[in-house]
């Protein structure tokens, strides 16, 4: 079944069930799923209950669609994502974003856990992504022919909203934090990078490395979201430390920063919606 038909069926299913239609959605990356649990939950479904939603096989990605209230602001959370390395085509892995956009959501905050290439970024630090380098060897738009007026050739010259990054910086300052910015390099995984690859990426200008996000951003830009990406630096990249790289370290670091990360996302979400009023 073609992607647009799957999207339409999922939209019809959710449209009848959502108690509210939020203007903002948040994708929660590795180890960051608990951020949704710090809000007043109004509605929740597991991905397997929603027609055509892909199911994650990775720890730290439980796979729930949640509508919760942050203060007076309703927010739709995608608690966990599906990755290319799980063997799922990117067109299917990114289908939830097409569904959420057709439900009327206009603003998207994407979070992830990343390896720090830039030595100025410490583990546990939150970084706003300002650009990316796609080294995944593929693109979620390959083979997809839009049927609803979306562009087939998507302009990524400002995929990451300057306006939303400015809001994020100001709200971080309100919490006594400095929000740095960086360039995110996306690779397919699931193996971690070699030290030689990290040296190459550092020379290319990458500050962060990860196995997600870029497909999300490409599809989100095609369907018309305004996008903010916040990355939790979970570990130092290969070759920049003597310690071995493990997924457990990613989960533990994300848990350590859950409180300030939650507070920042809450302030950003409320500010975005307030400015639209």
Rounded CA gap, 9 and 51, in Å?
A: 7
- Eight-state DSSP code of residue 38: G
Active site residues: 30, 61, 83, 85-86, 113, 211-212, 235, 247
- The predicted model gives 38-61 an average pLDDT of 84
Residue pLDDT, tens place only, 172-187: 999 999 999 999 999 9
Cβ contact 46:64 at 8 Å: yes
- pLDDT > 60? residue 191: yes
Show Cβ contacts of residue 81 under 8 Å, excluding neighbours closer than 6 positions. 27, 28, 29, 56, 61, 93, 212, 216
Q: Where does the pLDDT of residue 41 fall: very low under 50, low under 70, confident under 90, or very high at 90 and above?
A: confident
CATH number of 3-276: 3.40.50.1580
State the sign of the Cα–Cα–Cα–Cα dihedral 151, 65, 163, 132: negative
Residue pLDDT, tens place only, 133-151: 999 999 999 999 887 789 9
Residue pLDDT, tens place only, 87-108: 999 999 999 999 999 999 999 9
Cβ contact 92:212 at 8 Å: no
Rounded CA gap, 104 and 156, in Å?
A: 22
Q: Domain coordinates of the chain in residue numbers?
A: 3-276
Q: Which residues of 213-248 are buried (b: 16+ CB within 10 A; e: fewer)?
A: bbbbbbbbbbbebbbbbbbbbbbbbbebeeeebebe
Strand bridging mode 73-79 / 24-28: parallel
Percent of the chain with pLDDT strictly greater than 90:
66
Q: What's the pLDDT at 5?
A: 93
Cβ contact 191:72 at 8 Å: no
From 259, 274, 262, select the one nearest 107 (Cα to Cα). Answer: 274
Token code pair at residue 233: 């630096």
- pLDDT > 90? residue 117: yes
- Eight-state DSSP code of residue 35: G
**pTM for this structure?**
0.93
């Amino acid at each position: 079944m073609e992607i647009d038909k799957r999207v339409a069926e999922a939209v019809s299913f959710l449209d009848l069930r959502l108690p509210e239609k939020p203007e903002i959605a948040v994708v929660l990356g590795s180890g960051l799923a608990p951020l949704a649990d710090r809000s007043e939950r109004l509605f929740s479904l597991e991905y397997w209950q929603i027609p055509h939603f892909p199911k994650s096989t990775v720890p730290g990605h439980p796979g729930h669609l949640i509508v919760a209230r942050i203060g007076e602001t309703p927010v739709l959370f995608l608690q966990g994502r599906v990755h290319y390395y799980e063997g799922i085509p990117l067109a299917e892995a990114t289908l939830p974003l097409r569904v959420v956009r057709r439900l009327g959501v206009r603003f998207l905050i994407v979070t992830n856990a990343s390896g720090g290439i830039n030595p100025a970024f410490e583990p546990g630090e939150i970084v706003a992504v300002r650009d990316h380098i796609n080294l995944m060897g593929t693109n979620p738009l390959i083979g997809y022919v839009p049927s609803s007026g979306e562009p087939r050739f998507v302009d990524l010259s400002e995929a990451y909203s300057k306006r939303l990054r400015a809001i994020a910086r100001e709200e971080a300052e309100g919490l006594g934090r400095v929000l740095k910015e960086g360039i995110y390099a996306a690779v397919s995984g699931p193996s971690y990078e070699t030290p030689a690859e990290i040296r190459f990426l550092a020379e290319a200008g990458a500050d962060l490395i990860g196995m997600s996000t870029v497909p999300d951003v490409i599809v989100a830009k095609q369907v018309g979201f305004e996008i903010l990406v916040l990355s939790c630096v979970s570990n130092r990249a290969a070759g920049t430390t003597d310690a071995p790289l493990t997924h457990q370290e990613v989960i533990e670091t994300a848990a350590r920063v859950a409180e300030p990360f939650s507070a920042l996302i809450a302030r950003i979400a409320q500010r975005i919606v307030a400015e639209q009023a």
